[in-house]
Amino acid sequence: MSARRRTLPGFGLSLGFTLAYLSLLVLIPLSTLFVRSAGLGWDGFWAAATSPRVIASYRVTLLTAFSAATINAAFGLLVAWVLVRYRFPGRKLVDALVDLPFALPTAVAGIALTTLYSEHGWIGSRLAPLGIKVAFTELGIIVALTFIGLPFVVRTLQPVLQDLESEIEEAAASLGATRLQTFQRVLVPALWPALLTGFALAFARAIGEYGSVVFISGNMPMKTEIAPLLIMTKLEQFDYAGATAIASVMLMASFLLLLTINVLQWWSRRLTA
Amino acid sequence: MAGTVTLRLPVASPQARSAALTEPRPVRWALIGVALAFLSLFLLVPLAAVVVEGFKKGVEAYLAALVEPDTLAAVRLTLVAALVSVPLNVVFGLAAAWAIAKFSFPGRNLLITLIDLPFAVSPVISGMIFVLMFGGQGWFGPWLDAHDIQIVFAVPGIILATTFVTFPFVARELIPLMQEQGPEEEEAARVLGASGWQILRRVTLPNIKWGLLYGVILCNARAMGEFGAVSVVSGHIRGETNTLPLHIEILYNEYNFAAAFAVASLLTLLALVTLVAKSAVEWRQARLLRPAADQSMEAA
C-alpha cells in the first residue's frame, strides 16, 4: 500500500476533506445532542425521557413500526418471489415502481394516504360500514409506515433469490420433496438472513419516520402520538431539555439497530458466499 | 442504511423452469395476483389520489395553485436548497470514494459506517441538532445574535438540514463502485505522466459516470422532498422559508386540499421522473456489464 500511496496523488487532500466535511456536518452536530443530554444530569434526563406521555409515544412508535415491518416482510417476500421467479406482462414496470416510496416525498405520501383512508375517502368510506377506522388511529400509522418501508424487504431479497442455485431445489425435488416442503426446508433457511435484514431496515426507517405519519395519525397524546412528533412538539414549546432527552433515547435505539443490521448483513453474506 | 439502495441491475427475465422447480400454474397466478393487488393498493392508488384530488376543482384552480406567489417562492427555495446541497455532496462523495477506494489506511471500515450515519437518524433529529447548535439557546446562538446572523428558522438552516439528510447518497454509490474497479487504471495513467486532475477527468470520471449520475438522481430526489428535518429548522414563514413539502403541509392544514394536492402533484411528477431516470441508468449499466459477462462465460 505504501507503493500505492506513492503512485496516486491526492490521498492527503481527499481524506482531509472527507474527515473535515464529515466532522463539521455530521459528527459535531450529532454530538451536541449527547452533550446537551449530559447537561441535564441523570435525574433530569430520566424524568424527561420516561414521563408517561413519552413512554406512551415510544410504545406507539415501536408497536406500529413493528407491525408495518412485519407486513412488509410477508408481502415483500411475496413480491420479490413473484418478480424474480414468474413471467407476467408489466413485470419490469412493477419492478421499477417498487422504489416509489424512496422517490415520493413523505409529505405527499402522508396527505394522499390520509385522504384515501379518512371517513370520506375512497378506501375509508368502504371500511367505515365494517366499523374499521383507519385514519387518525394506530391503524393509519401502520398504513403509512407500510408504504414507507415497502421497498426494503423486496430489494434485499431480490438479489439473494436470484443467486440461489437451482441445483439445491432440483436435489430436493429428486429426493421426492413437494414444492411446499422444498420451500419450507430449503428456501426459507437460505432466505432467512436477508429477510431479517430487510425487516430490520424497514423497522429502523419506520421508527424515525415523521412526514408520512403526522397527517394520518391524528396526533392524540398517549394514543396516536409517535416519538418524533413529540420531539417536534417539545421543540415548538422551547422545551429543549425534553426534546433532547427523547431524541437521545431514539438515537441510541437507531444506532443499536444499525449495529444489528450490520451483523445481519455479515451473516447473510457468509451464508451466500 | 435506511432510505436508499445502491445501483442494482434490473432483475433478469426469469428463465423457464421445469415443472418440478416451479409451482402449478393456478398457484403462480394466485401469487402474482396477490402481489399485484398489494402493490396497487399501496402504490398506484395513492398516486391516482394525488392527481384526482389536485384536479378536483378543475384545471383552472389547479393551475392557479401552481402559479400562486407563495408556491413559486417555495419552488425557488426548494431549487436553491437542492442546488447547494447536491453539488456539495457530490464533491464530498468523490473525495471520500477516492480516499477509501484508491488507498488503504486504518479505520477505513469505520469511516464507511460513519458516512452512513445520517440514514440512521430520524429526520426530526437531523433538523433538531442544527437548532441545538445555531438556535437562540444553542452553542453559537448568542454569538450569532450579536453579529445579527440568522441560520436556523432561515434559508441557511434549510440548506444545512438538507445537506445533512442527503449526505451519504453519492458517497455510498461511488465507494463500492470504485473499490471494485481498483486503482490499476489510475496507476497506469500516473506512470504515463498524467497529473492528478488529468487522472480524475480522463480516467476516473468516465469510469464512474453512471454510478455518479445514479447517486445524484437519488440525492436530488431526497433534497427536494425532505420534510421532517427541514420542518424543524424552517421558520414556516410563507414565501420566505417554506420549501415545497412544507408549503403542502400549510395548504393541507388550512383545508385547502385541492391546492395542497396540486402542489403535491409537482413533487409526484419529480418522483416519477426520478424513477424513470433511475431505471434508465440501471438498464444502461446492465447493457455495459452483460457483454463482459458473456465473454467471461465463453472463456470459461
In a 10 Å sphere around its CB, with 0-12 CB exposed, 13-18 middle and 19+ buried, how is residue B236 labelled?
A: middle
C-alpha distances in Å from residue B90, one per residue of A50, A73, B35, B216, B287: 41, 33, 37, 7, 25
CB A95 within 8 A of CB A147: no
Closest alpha carbon to A262 in B197, B120, B6: B120
Of A239-248, A258-267, B8-17, B197-206, least confident by mean pLDDT is B8-17
Question: Does A251 contact B125 at a Cβ distance shorter than 8 Å?
Answer: yes
For residue A85, the chain B residues in CB contact (below 8 A) are 14, 17, 22
pLDDT of amino acid B10: 65
Instruction: Give the pLDDT score at B11.
Output: 64
Cα→Cα distances A110→A156, A209, A220, B138, Å: 25, 11, 17, 31
CB pairs under 8 A between A and B: 306
Q: Where are the alpha helices (DSSP H) in B226-256?
A: 228-233, 244-253
Q: What is the 8-class DSSP label of residue B44?
A: I
Contacts of A127 (CB under 8 A, 6+ apart): A117, A133, A134
- Lookup result for grid cell 441445483: A167
Could you tell me if the ipTM is greater than 0.95? no
Inter-residue contact B179 to B101 (CB < 8 Å): yes
Q: Which CATH architecture has domain A32-272?
A: Orthogonal Bundle (1.10)
Neighbours of A31 (CB within 10 A): 14
Q: Could you tell me how many helices (H) and strands (E) chain A has, helices first?
A: 16, 0
The CA distance from A62 to A206, in Å, is 9
- CA atoms of B246 and A211, how far apart (whole Å): 10
Could you read off the pLDDT tens digit of each residue along chain B, which spans 300 residues? 444 456 766 666 777 777 777 888 899 999 999 999 999 999 999 999 999 999 999 999 999 999 999 999 999 999 999 999 999 999 999 999 999 999 989 999 899 989 999 999 999 999 999 999 998 888 888 899 899 999 999 999 999 999 999 999 999 999 999 999 989 999 999 999 999 899 999 999 999 999 999 999 999 999 999 999 999 999 778 888 999 999 999 999 999 999 999 999 999 999 999 999 999 999 888 887 766 555 554 444
**pTM over 0.95, yes/no:** no
Tell me which chain B residues have a C-beta less than 8 angstroms from the C-beta of A150. Answer: 42-43
> Distance between CA atoms of B81 and B93, rounded to whole angstroms?
18
pLDDT single digits (tens) A102-139: 999 999 999 999 999 999 999 999 999 999 999 999 99
Q: Among A85, A201, A240, whose Cβ lies nearest the Cβ of B14?
A: A85
Distance from CA of B90 to the nearest CA of A (A): 12
- Provide the terminal-to-terminal Cα distance of chain A, rounded to the nearest Å: 27
Cα–Cα distances (Å) from A142 to A99, A211, B92, in that order, read 19, 13, 36
From B36, B245, B279, residue closest to A96, measured CB to CB: B279
Question: One-letter amino acid identity for B106?
Answer: P
Rounded-to-integer distance, Cα B115 and Cα A19, Å? 10
Pick the residue of A6, A14, A178, A233 with the most B CBs within 10 A to test the interface with B by mutation. Answer: A14
Number of other residues whose CB lies within 10 A of the CB of residue B219:
29
Q: Where are the domains of chain A?
A: 32-272
